[in-house]
Amino acid sequence: MRRVAAAVALGLLAWLAGTAVGAVPVGAPGAAAAPFLQVGRAHADFTPTLDGDRPIFLLFIGSDARPGQAVEGERADSIHLVGINPAKGKASILGFPRDSWVEIPGHGTDKINAAMVYGGPDTVVATVEALTGITIDYWVLTSFDGFQAMVNDVGGLVVDVPFPMQDPFSGSDFEPGRQRLDGRQALAFARDRHSLLSGDFGRSENQGRLFLAALTQFRREFARDPSRLLTWVAAGMRHVHTDLGAGEILDLAFTAAGIPPAGVRNMVVPGTTAMEGGQSVVLLSGGAAVIYRDMAKDGLVSPRNAPPSPEERV
């Protein structure tokens, strides 16, 4: 009896073993075996950057609107023309002092920041186009609140503060050096002109520094985790008014990922302060026409035409 039982048990074992042999051949995938060891590593990526020969021009406008005020009906506190050359992976930032005394199409001569009060971002665009001869493709407008929220949504910006800044009017209080600024601090950095020898000119340059800080940080985060692009695009779309479509914003974001900050020239249109009609204004230099013509060609300004930093001029 014990022999029969042993034979049956052995048969069952053999059946199980045989089934296993039939179903999972030795060495086949899924068999319990030694762990896999890495034998190679390779990486591939593709970023759909714009690559046309034609430069793209965007006008970034910071509205003076406070909470409750219409963003498009208040003065433009900051105005920057950004030229992007997708083919070269380079760009230019050209800031206009807000008190620039210019011709506003249909409204005579006034400070450039008044253009938005006259007719919103379209009139600011028309004013800059008339001044520079450059056709602007898109405008992007934000407010104090929108700017702060945008910076907070991306976790703050790491800014290399170039010099000590203490100004109770804007709220700036910074030692020089790299530091992460939250939305409120970044706004204070952008608004402070009292800490700067070059006043409104230097402030415009600092605003350009924030563009560069954002580009640097965006590229770093994108390289580490491409899906972060969505966070940056969403932060922008939540807090700006623009005539860009969502698809165009995504295209530009991918393109920005391919532009190293070293390939971006941050400039301010040179000029001098003067009095007009009892108010302090900025008379833009006649030499600025060379910058406009250069930038119009390919979105970039060559070193020989680039103006020195405003802080170096004073």
Partner 1 sequence: MTDVPGRGTLSGVLSTGRHRPSERRIPAAALAVGVAAAIVAAAVGILVLRDGASVLPGVDGGDEVPSFEFAVGRATAIPTTEGGRQRFRPQARAAARTAAHVLSDLYAAAFLDPANWRAGRYDSAWELFDGAAQEAARRDADVLTVGPSLGAGLERIEPRRGRLSVKVLVDEHGRPLTIVGIVRFSATAEGKDGTVRELVSAGQYFLRRIDGAWRVYSYDVVREDGAREAATATATPTGSEP
The residue within the footprint of partner 1, chosen from 20, 197, 274, 314 (CB under 8 A), is: 20
Here's the x/- map for partner 1, 219-258, by CB under 8 A: it reads as ------xxx--xx-xx--xx-------xx--x---x----
**Size of residue set near partner 1 by CB under 8 A:** 52
**Based on CB atoms, which residue is closest to partner 1, 152 or 179?**
152
**Residue 284, beta-bridge partner list:** 271
**Based on CB atoms, which residue is closest to partner 1, 29 or 168?**
29
Q: What are the E-state strand segments in 73-150?
A: 76-85, 90-96, 101-104, 108-111, 138-142
Options 34-42, 69-77, 196-204, 295-303: segment touching partner 1 (CB under 8 A): 34-42
Q: Residues with Cβ < 8 Å from 205, sequence gap 6 or more?
A: 95, 198, 266, 267, 268, 309, 310, 311
Options 29-37, 87-95, 112-120, 305-313: segment touching partner 1 (CB under 8 A): 29-37
The residue within the footprint of partner 1, chosen from 33, 70, 130, 274 (CB under 8 A), is: 33
Q: Which two tokens stand for residue 138?
A: 């898109």
The residue within the footprint of partner 1, chosen from 16, 70, 197, 274 (CB under 8 A), is: 16
Q: Which two tokens stand for residue 30?
A: 């899924």
38 binds partner 1 (CB under 8 A): yes
Options 24-32, 53-61, 100-108, 278-286: segment touching partner 1 (CB under 8 A): 24-32
Torsion of CA 309, 190, 94, 145, to 10 degrees: 180
25 binds partner 1 (CB under 8 A): yes
| Exposure b/e, 3-13, CB count within 10 A at least 16 = b | eeeeeeeeeee
Q: Residues with Cβ < 8 Å from 285, sequence gap 6 or more?
A: 269, 270, 271, 272
Provide the CA 311 distance to its chain's centre, in angstroms.
Answer: 23
3 binds partner 1 (CB under 8 A): yes
Provide the CA 289 distance to its chain's centre, in angstroms.
Answer: 26
Which residues lie near partner 1 (CB under 8 A)? Answer: 3, 6-8, 10-23, 25, 27-30, 33-48, 225-227, 230-231, 233-234, 237-238, 246-247, 250, 254
